[in-house]
Structure 1
């Protein structure tokens, strides 16, 4: 192989290329004081280092923020729960107050006619249908409720407080044989004075029918079906003129000449939910007797309101002798 052939071989061309590259590299290094390789390395590595540093820093910040956010969220959640509980309590108080105001509004007429009445609203929280629909209310002595306080609704008489503790009370209804009160049949229509007094009572048979009896009416009584019966005020438990019910029929007593009236109470004591307790009224606890009223009405009953007492034969006979012009 001659000299010209060697210059055209592939190996010579590769060697020449490598030598040229090395020469360029040396010249480049000499021109930059030997810092070119390191500068070249830095040129490629610096961005990567910056990216790595940024990722690491962001990860640390994210971890710190995540930890802080969790604590803040837990605290915020607790605060929100407390606010919800407070709002729920306020809402319950609001509805209780609204309900009580609505109840009081229904008794405005009663209060205006009887400014001496002190009223306590209550709700039924338990029933005992086996005891003539006796029920329990959610107010007791702490609210001013006492034994023998009359219990009513805006429709009429419900019964009386037979026992009480500090937070609740038991109400015996007018369907119980233990309930006796002075009643007055308004026979004069719009004339509230005309009428006849008697004694309200009941028995098991009548209670099963939801009825009570106005007894000891005179043989010539003017009382009739459709007449309204109210409390006479005789006795010590019930004030005067509380609505009781309406007369359904008149009958003869079995063993004497007097008559009686079967009365349908205005209030269905089996369904009542909210009541009003009359905790105070003028004359409460002071039994009205014959000397306290007109001569006719005084014979209606002297202790008819005593919840557990029985009418004596003398009061019964005097009731039957009262005229149809009697007043309570």
Structure 2
């Protein structure tokens, strides 16, 4: 599949960087290939996702590296008493750690098991994009979601880096243990949610392109004149071209609806698991933050700050995902062919 070079030059680089980042987290068990081809005296970029066992291995190695730290953490918390912590709070911490590890494990394993499905979905998206750029190339106003995605990613990384620094300042001796046991698995879960939100933003971009195409052709190509209470078409060639374009847009809507349905089926179970984890983590972090506020000690500032970051890190991807779903629904409802 090929897209015009001037359209995909920046997108290819963004896709490559995004793929490498998610592969490091075990959320991209596939490879990304890009090559330059010449068709009809024009230079184009051919882009394709392929299944890759090497990418699978990278993700699993990252997960297996964390497992020893997780078992060691459970052993310490089960056999040693923690100062300034009740038995109930200690059990809560152990259960919370188990929930984090279970959610991370389910997401990574299901991603690897369903590798072919996600690769097929991504290739369909690329093929769909190349088709609408080729067939609707006279649409001058394109909505670009790249800047929105970059801003969302910057906000996500800012919260993640602040959380790591907070863990280091709060637990200097056990910093590595906490990061490997909590921060890294939580980063994977939140990155997965952001990934789903980014996918929805990409889909919304395509719906907006189709809506712009339909409105452009219906407003500028078809012209009616009121004469003796009758509407007469001024130019039959315009209406014929418009009907062809509307047919293309309708077919594109059908294809995009199919892709959106496949994305929903792929992410539904994983998002259900992630949301269940978020519900528990929000309650747990809010409870722990309340306990720290009750102590009213200046030395607990970093603990309050740390729990506040954890609470914010749960709310942020949830809000981004919810906003993505809402925006897609709004674009879909603008035009309804049913």
- Shorter-chain TM-score above 0.5: no
TM-score by length of 2: 0.20
Structure having greater relative contact order (Cα 8 Å, sep ≥ 6): 2
TM-score by length of 1: 0.21
When you count strand as a share of all residues, which structure comes out higher?
A: 1
Greater gyration radius? 1
When you count helix as a share of all residues, which structure comes out higher?
A: 2
